[in-house]
Amino acid sequence: MTSEDERSPWRPQLQTTLGHCLGALALLPPLVGQASAHGVGPSSFEAPLPLPYLLVGAGATVALTAVGLGLLGSVPEGSRRLTRLDGRWPTRGATALRLGFLALVVAVIVQGLFGRQVAAENLATVAVWPLWIKGFALVAVVSGSPWRLLSPARTLYRVLSAVEGRPLGARALPAWVGSWPAVAGFACLVSVENLTAATREPATTAGLVAGYLALVLAGGVVFGPDWFRRADPFEVFYRLLGRVSVLSIEVAGAPAGRRPVPECAGGRGAGESGARADGGLAEDRSTSAALLPPVRRLDRVDIAVRPPWRGAARPVAGSGLATLVVTAVYAVSFDGFVETPTYQTLLFAVRNATGLGPMAGLVVFVAGLVSALAIFALIATFTGYLAGLSRPSLAIAPTLVPIAAAYEVAHTYTYVGANLGRLPALVGGAVIDPLWWLGIPGFWASQVVLLVAGHLVGVLAAHAVLSRRTDRSGTVLAHLPLVGLMVGYTMISLWIVSLPVVG
């Protein structure tokens, strides 16, 4: 930030406020000492300060940021272009990427079904859960969703449309469907991931991938591209995460005037349509040029940077998307929570009380999700009442996306890195550890920094949302319920990530 010049959209006073908060957090890694050798260090360590102090300090940082914003006024939301690319190369590259990823998915299915049934050695389990599902989430957070570009169902759809000679899918997807198919798919995904052995079974993984592809492709053939945008859980989830990416890729030369998208009626604001692939690596129609003539080729692609809260300050278009945001935040938190002794205590309390045996895990998961949705609805309603928002959950839900994104990155980046390093071993090479330099203290410190940063971005986004509807004093008042939620969740998140490692 110190290298930002006058063209920066970030105002100096805001930089100062955030600088103090983030500067204090940036001191954490040196405080916890040098990273030990990855894989040989201790599994726990003494935190540089008592855990209660850290939790209170982090919560106070979030609260003080909200107070500071109330005093300063609005938050900047502009962007700045970094570079412009000739449109031919992204088009060719996109086609190659699409076909390459489709080939990889086919290889995943074949090896998953017929390869050696060892999770750590089979392409299906190594590629699907860590690299596809988690890895693309990280990509989405950093540079926008890659899924509209890479989706194998979309690629197959394009191939079939090319065979047909026109785009398939004449029937309109009813508006009332919204994004609920994606929500259902996402709920299934996190349930399978957290509560079954599928992540350890190559054949099951291959079967799930094939089933997912069949369902999404069949829907696309019936309903056309709207189906992919609103029903594919990966496309919807990654697009939501892409809202916080600091990179923005804008496409020029794509056809204008697209069919309205009911669920994503936010239009450009929701990152769904228009020439700008907001939070995406490529615009939909233009990148279909290679397989679906006639389509205008791209003229240019602009790559810009933007503040991460800008996308999180735009409302989502339906309650399905709001539900998915809350589910995403809850799921990634639950994924961390299950690794703590506290979860074991809770789980066995439920087991003993209900006699449900192994099903108690599902009960805990669902009960937690319902509670999370209820708390969110309560906070959103209260905030909406204070700010005069008509559909507050749609405006408030995206302000939680930075938290989901931060937790996703904090919880999975080592998992993704380790499995990336395992890819050479699948073709006879040696395992590479790209995170060899990272020890337990450094990993924990990175989690703390990411989580607090995510909550700060969430606070900024919520402030931006509320300041559009209220005056300065009204914004501060309306922001209170959300700030309380953010402070509480900051502390809970840090507690969850600290329990397994901080001695």
Partner 1 sequence: MRIRTAVALVVVLSALGSATAVGLTTSSTELTERWISDTPRDTRVNHHGIGTGPDGVVVAPVSRVGGAENMAPNDCALVRLAPDTGAVRWRAGVAPANCTTHALTKPAIATADGTRSETVFAASTERALHAWDVTTGQERWRVPLSTYGYGQPALFERDGKAPAVVVSDIGGEVSFVANQSVRWRHDLDASTWASPIVADVDGRPGREILVGTNQHTTALTPEGEVAWQSAGAGEYVALGPPGDGSRLVIVSRTSAIEALDGASGRSVWTQNVSGSAAIESVTTDGPVPTLYAGLSDGRVLALDARTGERRWLTRLDDADQVITPPPAVGDLNGDSTTQVVAVTSTGLVTVLDGETGSVRASYSRDVPIYTAATVADVTGDGVDELFIRYGDGRVVALEYR
- In this structure, what DSSP letter does residue 228 have? H
Closest CA to 445 of 138, 16, 45: 45
Residue 343 touches partner 1, criterion: CB under 8 A: yes
Lookup: tokens for 258 = 């697209």
Q: Which residue stretch of 119-127, 315-323, 324-332, 367-375 sits at the interface with partner 1 (rule: CB under 8 A)?
A: 119-127
Nearest 10 degrees: CA dihedral of 240, 242, 246, 247? -150
Shortest spacing between CB 244 and partner 1, in angstroms: 28
Distance CA 393, CA 323 (A): 9
Tell me the C-alpha distance between 335 and 337, whole Å.
6
CB atoms within 10 A of CB 126: 23
Restricted to residues 302-321, the positions that interact with partner 1 (CB under 8 A) are none
Query: CA-CA distance, 476 to 478, in Å (whole number)?
Result: 6
Judged by CB under 8 A, which of 342, 352, 354, 371 binds partner 1?
A: 352
> Which amino acid is present at 7?
R
Nearer to partner 1, 206 or 301 (CB): 206
Residue whose CB is less far from partner 1, 255 or 424: 424
Q: Which CB atom, from 346 or from 373, has the smaller least distance to partner 1?
A: 346
Residue pair 328/404 in contact (Cβ under 8 Å)? The answer is yes
Q: Which of residues 142-171 bind partner 1 (CB under 8 A)?
A: 156, 159-160, 163-165, 168
Amino acid at 64: L
Cβ nearer to partner 1, comparing 215 with 304: 215
Choices 224-232, 350-358, 389-397, 453-461 (CB under 8 A): range interacting with partner 1: 350-358
Which residue lies nearer to partner 1 by CB, 124 or 459? 124
The site map against partner 1 for 201-240 (x = CB under 8 A) is x-xxxxxxxxx-xx--xx--x-------------------
Our CB check for partner 1 shows the closer of 104 and 477 to be 104
- CA 102 – CA 148 distance, rounded (Å): 13
How far is residue 197 from each of residues 5, 130, 357, 365, measured CA to CA in Å? 52, 14, 16, 16
The DSSP secondary structure of 18-59, one letter per residue, reads: HHHHHHHHHTHHHHT-SPPPTTTS-S-B--SS-HHHHHHHHH
Rounded CA separation 167/416 (Å) = 36
Which x/- pattern over 382-421 shows residues binding partner 1 (rule: CB under 8 A)? Answer: ------------------------------------xx--
> Closest separation between CB of residue 299 and partner 1, Å?
31
| Cα–Cα dist 135/169, whole Å | 30
Interaxial angle between packed helices 233-242 and 319-337, expressed in degrees from 0 to 180 and rounded to the nearest 10: 80
Between 203 and 449, CB nearer to partner 1: 203
Tell me how far apart the alpha carbons of residues 12 and 19 are, in angstroms, rounded to a whole number.
10
- Closer CB to partner 1, 212 or 309, in the complex: 212
Residue 201: C-alpha distances to residues 136, 208, 335 (Å): 21, 11, 19
By CB under 8 A, tell whether 98 contacts partner 1. Answer: no
The CB-of-223 to partner 1 minimum distance in angstroms stands at 14
CB of 87 to partner 1, least distance (A): 29
Binding status of residue 329 toward partner 1 by CB under 8 A: no
- Please answer whether residues 234 and 141 qualify as being in contact, where contact means their C-beta atoms are separated by less than 8 angstroms: no
**By the rule CB under 8 A, 26 interacts with partner 1:** no
Shortest spacing between CB 448 and partner 1, in angstroms:
19
Q: Is 39 in the site for partner 1 (CB under 8 A)?
A: yes
Least distance between partner 1 and beta carbon 161 (Å): 8
Place of tokens 């799921």: 331
* Identity of the residue, 76 or 207, whose beta carbon is nearer to partner 1 in the bound complex: 207
The residue ranges that bind partner 1 (CB under 8 A) are: 38-41, 43, 109, 112-113, 116-121, 156, 159-160, 163-165, 168, 197, 200-201, 203-211, 213-214, 217-218, 221, 338-339, 341, 343-345, 348, 351-352, 357-358, 418-419, 422
